[in-house]
Structure 1
């Protein structure tokens, strides 16, 4: 919450008790990891999954703005970090890119691996880890142009 408040994200977007309860219910389900079908049902329920996506988008925006001096160099078109967040991060149905993944992995304190297929003859899989500190990833994503999929082991 401190990250969101420091980024001047309106509290009305994340203080709503229904929002908090929905998100904490999903977090509790993930932490218990006792029944994967329960978690799958929550993610398949659009109202629940939308709450999670909105919160993650707000966290991403908060981290981008908190470290605006760093992230401003990765934003095209002369937009400020705040304007970029307003136009490309916070709205639903916007595509995410590497800048979003870097900021979100830092905000959550998790390691993310993004894998992508080389279009050359070798058919090799290349990857980038965020952060690049040699730690094993918590989450693996497959990048296809304009889209990321979660990879499951």
Structure 2
């Protein structure tokens, strides 16, 4: 018996697998003093993606028109990886010249390294992606993820990268 997997199913399954590998990469990324303050969620159901896009449109009134532009990207994405961080007490002393405390800085640097590790996996896997502040804020507002700071990484597979030729409002 020959079993054939159609293109749509193959892409859906592969994209889910890549999103899960991105979560692994973010979780295992180096962190200050080994403190794990990273939180990860994957959104891949059409209903949640649409709710995220609608929330971004609502927030555009407060944050700017680019939230509307990004909402269209979310609608056209197949999944979104949410990566956030909690600010934790790492026990560092803050230099007097710094404007924010060292624990906050290192917590946020952990987030940046985790995001970089995740998008590396997407890139290696030839999955189109973009890091978005806008969708991260909307995900927090919807309660999709419990973290102090969140960024979203929408994912898509198509013949043309939908995140590339975006126009500024």
State the TM-score, normalized to the length of structure 1.
0.29
TM-score by length of 2: 0.27
Higher relative contact order (CA 8 A, sep 6+): 2
